[in-house]
Structure 1
Amino acid sequence: MAKLLILIPTILLLFYTSKCSATVYTVGDNAGWDISTDLDSWAKDKTFAVGDTLLFQYSQYHSVSEVTKENYEGCNTTNVLQSSSNGNTSFVLTSPGDRYFVCGNRLHCLGGMKLHVSVLGNEAMSPVGAPQAQPGGALPPGSSKSNSPSSSSSILNCVRIDSLVLAFFGLLVVLFGVM
């Protein structure tokens, strides 16, 4: 009977997974990455987390560059971390902290075409081996360039490693009577 009491929670732990969601945010929603978009208002009510993606969709008159805080504040577009001008650029938020983006046209940046996001950490989410979108690279699966960008989200199935380890040791206890 004691082994049955251990077996039931062990089986439950084996099937336990937590579902994590990663959101693809189309910057500016329908307005896109454009000088007429109020990017501060757009970002205000959003919570960005590790694993989320920022998708910038824009016309040939714009570009997007990731910059340091200092370059963001001064709209310095000459010393950038990453840059793209292909009309569709994805940045995966891979670590917690502040990220800064500007239009490569300094006058557009000075006119407000810049974005600061604070990325929250998420220890429960562990998308090991998940595909990473790159600036200037391909769009996330299911995304395509359009004249009217829209928000979309994708679900990543994440497995909590700690639960699997506990389940494994629980199974060892049941099968081999360890302890």
Structure 2
Amino acid sequence: MAKVKWKTDPAHSEIQFKVKHLMITTVTGYFSKFDLEVETEDEDFTKASSIVFTADVNSINTNNEQRDTHLRSADFFDAENHGELRFVGKNYEETGEGRARLHGDLTIRGTTKPVTVEVEYHGIVVDPYGQTKAGFEVNGKISRKEFGLMWDAVTEAGSVVVSDEIRLHCEIQLVKQA
């Protein structure tokens, strides 16, 4: 069996998060700078020996500069002291029909907690340029407060301004490395 290395194709991948605002609408944000490196046996992702995802906290974008500055501040991500978030996959558990659960450790703001995400594997193709690519959709949920993102505010009517639950949605295209 040959070890195969894979890296993110950033032009065809996106990392999004969604959070309730005032509990009546959802704000979507993303990280524009991120990387995922995977090492597999041959092209078998179920036998991945290494899965490491990182995102540059300073690349956070919610289409509102004032909010993005607040998210980078010590109230939330504390980007000055914790400029990267990191997920290290530990166990890829197949659940059938191209679906799996990926268990691993997520580190945000210096706090590491176990996290499980749902993975949908879309297959491997060779693109018109001869590159071998693999596609995945990843979904999950985390509690921001478990990672030290504790900022809270309440409206005069008693509504929470920002929910604790953060929903994750990622579209990932990996490129097989030569």
- Taking structure 1 as the reference length, the TM-score comes to 0.24
Q: Who wins on radius of gyration, i.e. which is larger?
A: 1
More helix by share: 1
* Larger RCO (alpha carbons 8 Å, 6+ apart): 1
